[in-house]
């Protein structure tokens, strides 16, 4: 079996009979004689635990209302011994990687009608603003945590959203904050219809429940970088595992389970190729 050498890129390699302690295959390059394994030169190299276990820990941390110690205890019952600090370190290292892969996969998939609003997130005892946008079918457009609520923060959010979606919307619905009109015209263009209607924006107010319900058990964040990292990764995984494609679509439980398993396998493949 041929397996490309990660350093010299030689294809003349030979698989060894000996595997790593975690069961990963090892190879020997016939040109430079280095021995390497399947995880060499990947973000998961030198981890003391299998890649799929680490990915599962990070995903459960993002998706479910579990503390760092909850996760360590749950995996202890399954024979994997690590501390809550290890969970924290894995979240720091791999949550951005997971979020970026999900983000790249949904690029260009948002609708032409955006609903934009901010919600409050407490970081180190201070209230910050989580800008979020969804389209008319409830799909995520983008999210961004900001320490301020002003025109510059709004412009940065729209620039980021435009970069991930790839095109400007036809209309944007916001609340009546003074920063939005100029920010929309300068970043998205003067042809975009801007609507300010609290009633029309109720769907986004309801959608904020996702991050709110996950955030409350954590009792706030210790610092701004960790809060920004978590909020983005949470929204990305929530959209990635969203079963509905339209607002009122009914998805049977059996199909939800099958879709979840399929997307989990897809996520593992995406991250391992990163």
Helices (H) and strands (E) in the chain, counts: 9, 8
Measure the CA–CA gap between 271 and 115, rounded to whole angstroms: 30
Measure the CA–CA gap between 89 and 244, rounded to whole angstroms: 33
How many CB atoms are located within 10 Å of the residue 53 CB? 16
The per-residue pLDDT for range 78-103, each reduced to its tens digit, is 899 999 999 999 999 999 999 999 99
What pLDDT, on the 0 to 100 scale, is given for residue 249? 86
What pLDDT, on the 0 to 100 scale, is given for residue 91? 94
The per-residue pLDDT for range 119-133, each reduced to its tens digit, is 999 999 899 999 999
How many CB atoms are located within 10 Å of the residue 252 CB? 9
Which structure tokens are listed for 75? Answer: 């995996």
How many CB atoms are located within 10 Å of the residue 36 CB? 19
């Amino acid at each position: 079996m041929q397996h490309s050498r990660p350093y010299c890129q030689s294809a003349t390699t030979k698989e060894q009979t000996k595997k790593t302690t975690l069961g990963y295959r090892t190879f020997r390059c016939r040109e430079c004689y280095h021995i390497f394994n399947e995880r060499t030169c990947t973000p998961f190299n030198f981890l003391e635990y299998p890649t799929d276990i680490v990915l599962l820990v990070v995903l459960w941390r993002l998706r479910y209302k579990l503390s760092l110690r909850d996760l360590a205890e749950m995996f202890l019952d399954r024979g994997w011994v690590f501390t809550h600090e290890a969970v924290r370190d894995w979240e720091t290292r791999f949550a951005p990687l997971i979020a970026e892969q999900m983000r790249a996969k949904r690029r260009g998939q948002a609708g032409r009608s955006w609903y934009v609003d901010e919600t409050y997130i407490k970081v180190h005892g201070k209230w910050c603003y989580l800008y979020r946008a969804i389209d008319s079918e409830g799909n995520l457009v983008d999210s961004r945590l900001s320490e301020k609520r002003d025109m510059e923060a709004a412009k940065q959010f729209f620039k980021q959203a435009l970069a991930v979606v790839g095109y400007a919307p036809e209309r944007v619905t916001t609340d009546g904050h003074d920063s939005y009109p100029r920010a929309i015209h300068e970043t998205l263009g003067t042809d975009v219809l801007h609507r300010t209607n609290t009633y029309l924006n109720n769907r986004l107010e309801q959608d904020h429940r996702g991050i709110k319900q996950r955030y409350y058990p954590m009792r706030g964040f210790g610092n701004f970088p960790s809060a920004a990292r978590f909020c983005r990764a949470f929204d990305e995984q929530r959209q990635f595992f969203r079963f509905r494609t339209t607002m009122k679509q009914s998805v049977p439980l059996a199909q939800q389970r099958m879709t979840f398993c399929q997307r989990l396998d897809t996520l593992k493949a995406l991250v391992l190729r990163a």
